[in-house]
Amino acid sequence: MMLCKLSLKNIKKSIKDYAIYFFTLILGISIFYVFNALDSQTVMMDVSSSTQDLIELMMTLLSSVSVFVSFILGFLIIYASRFLMKRRNKEFGVYLTLGMSKRKISLILFFETLFIGIISLLVGLGLGVLLSQAMSLVVANSFEANLTKFAFVFSASAFFKTIIYFSIMYLLVMIFNTISVSKCKLIDLLNGAKKSEEIKLKNPYLCIIIFIISCIVLGKAYHMVTAEFLTLQEVTDVLKPIIMGVVSTFFIFWSLSGLILRIVQSLKKYYYKGLNSFTLREFSSKINTTVFGATIICLMLFVTICLLSACLTMKNSMNANIKKLAPADAHFSKVMNMERYYEDFKGLGYSDLQIKNSNYDVKESFRLFNFDITSYFKDYIEVNIYATENLTLNHTLGSRLDSIRTEFPFLAYDTKEPIMKISDYNKVARFYGINEYSLNDGEYIIVADFKSMVNIRNIALKNNETINLFGHTLKSKYDTCQDGFLEMSSQHINTGIILVADNIVNEEYLYENHLIGNYKTTDKKEIMEIENNINKLDKDKRVSEYILPSGSTKLAIKEATVGLSAMVTFIGLYLGIIFLISSAAILGLKELSDASDNKEKFKMLRKIGTDEKMINKALFRQIAIFFMLPLILALIHSIFGIMFAVKILEVFGTDELLPSIIATAIFIVIIYGGYFLITYSCSKSIIKERY
């Protein structure tokens, strides 16, 4: 009972020491609960079965991610416990001097950890339950669902999962504390505060050489993930710049730890101004001993920035794409004339009978299955795609083929180019509400929206390459690809369609038939019923004789897009916020530990007449530099990391990149900045202690 009272008294006395510890635990617990309680929020939503399947997949992935998150938070709690143990070395030394056994000290720590755990769990879970109610609105908005049954929801599964995971973490902390106390020596406990980190001045010339080499290696890694992106085809190709970036980051911090003090010392006026010499020597001492830690924190911040920016960009772009890239209700296509293009389809699972019966367009194919698709449309259009082995990607690239093939060896250069009559394309453009085009005699146009392929095609177009089609020599009307598409999607997937004058096309080379329409009804349930009936046609016995048209509908695209974007966003936010909290907490705890160790130094500054305002200013700068250095390098990394992510995300579109970067910056300012202010406040309190 006495030990319990002593533990509670210690917690109350050291509340400023526990500020970051409490803040991190409460934040970690509440976030853990909120993301694991998402399934309870989705119960209230009126969603389709396909969206529900995506939600279940998201929850499975989040459960797996939670295991990883628990390891990160567990490490963080143990790291924080090390700081608190170190902070109280002298106190434990006094206990031992007064005759208290190590077993009783271990019990004190056990009760303290238990009380802190209980308080943190109660507050964290309470905050998590409240935040999860607000998350209901976010989830509903992300899945574009109606909260028809909105109510206050408590997730029992998330509640018990959080308690179990964090109880295991606290148990590990208790074991760690017991082992630490059993190994400690009285002399080390009493004199621990008198030890200071020695500043080892490294050879400046060696530091300069390593810094320059590291920057060159890092620059090469940046170049590989941006300019050489299209050559990164294998996993090992991607790992190479990552390893180069990690190693060069470590050595940049290592070289800076030996250069910063030397450089500033050469600037006499600045070095001897105020407490700059004290601040910089303290910072140099810290960076010398935390090169590895600074590297890890920098990389975690880099991952956080890229992860949050990429996930939010993907979500916003995909949702914005639905209106732009799926402007009609339904789009169906059917391969025709398969006997002419037999080589393209053999080995793809089509029977000889299906190939023989392939000369039916979309409408006729549906009618073979006793289904009149046009009866459901208020308006529709039909267009055709043509293809010939005499016009492949090889032919459209012309004289630039060899240089492009060398730079981009993975492209399928023998693929037949899709050819479309200009009148057919304009028919689609009017139906979609996008740009129409016109052609003069002897001209062609390439419409495309997949950026990487657009850039490759533009190399040839700027070189004024001509093409030969059905006995006609054609030149491009424009020296760049024009924006446009045929197939509906939530992504930019059009790698190129050749538009030519109607009279040039040879009808014998018909390749595909497309039918695009808008439903008579706007009722979602009625549309779902129509599309379910279409899906059931797959079970018809006649599919062994005839090929069913393939298709995409606005509703299906919307549900898949919204579900996928929401899933990616929640997982990205979960990991990103945890990484950000971990990075900031580690820095904060390190600074508090150093403030505790350096109390005597600040006391000495007061004795020689330094006023409190100047001391606080020096402390603020010291902590600010320590927080900013890994963040600055992480931001530089992120510029190229986001450029790499943009290359990957270009299929989804990157128009929403800037808002995503702004949102990420807000997260960093709130969480990282919040930890910085708490660290400064607690450190200022620690160095003012009189005992």
**Residues 198-214: tens digit of each pLDDT:** 545 567 778 888 889 99
Condensed to tens digits (0 to 9), the pLDDT of residues 26-58 reads: 888 888 888 888 766 655 455 556 666 667 777
* pLDDT at 75 (0 to 100): 74
Condensed to tens digits (0 to 9), the pLDDT of residues 76-106 reads: 777 766 666 666 666 666 666 766 666 776 6
Residue 136 has pLDDT above 70, yes or no: no
Number of H helices, E strands in the chain: 25, 9
Pairing of strands 419-421, 497-500: parallel
* pLDDT at 333 (0 to 100): 93
The most distant pair of C-alpha atoms in the chain lies apart, rounded to whole Å, by 104
Neighbours of 691 (CB within 10 A): 4
Percent helix, strand, coil in the chain, to 5, is: 70, 10, 25
Higher local confidence (pLDDT), 459 or 41: 459
**DSSP code at position 425:** H
* pLDDT at 324 (0 to 100): 85
CA distance 63 to 76: 20
Mean pLDDT of 152-181: 78
Residue 237 has pLDDT above 80, yes or no: no
* pLDDT at 146 (0 to 100): 55
The mean of the pLDDT values for the chain is: 79
Higher local confidence (pLDDT), 153 or 377: 377
* pLDDT at 379 (0 to 100): 94
Helix axes of 524-536 and 554-597: crossing angle, nearest 10 degrees:
110
Amino acid sitting at position 670:
I
CA distance 541 to 685: 80
Give the helix/strand (H/E) hosting 474: strand 472-476
CA distance 443 to 458: 16
pLDDT band at residue 591 under the 50/70/90 scheme: confident
Q: How far is CA 34 from CA 39, 54, 315, 534, 536, in A?
A: 10, 19, 20, 39, 39
Residue 691 has pLDDT above 50, yes or no: no
Condensed to tens digits (0 to 9), the pLDDT of residues 386-418 reads: 999 899 998 998 888 888 888 777 788 888 999
Give the helix/strand (H/E) hosting 672: helix 657-687
Encoding tokens for residue 579?
């990484």
Encoding tokens for residue 426?
């304009």
Question: 151 φ, ψ to 5°?
Answer: -160, 165
SS3 183: helix
Amino acid sitting at position 259:
L
Q: What's the pTM? A: 0.71
Q: CB of 371 within 8 A of CB of 537?
A: yes
The residue among 367, 430, 359, 416 whose CA lies nearest residue 388 is 416
Percent of residues, the chain, with pLDDT higher than 90: 19
Contacts of 519-524 with C-beta under 8 Å, sequence gap 24+, read: 519/329, 519/330, 519/376, 519/377, 519/378, 520/376, 520/377, 520/378, 521/376, 524/555
Residue 227 has pLDDT above 80, yes or no: no
CA distance 92 to 82: 14
CA distance 488 to 553: 8
Condensed to tens digits (0 to 9), the pLDDT of residues 332-385 reads: 999 888 877 766 766 667 777 877 778 889 999 999 888 999 999 999 999 999
pLDDT band at residue 230 under the 50/70/90 scheme: low
Bridge partners, 382 (sequence order): 515
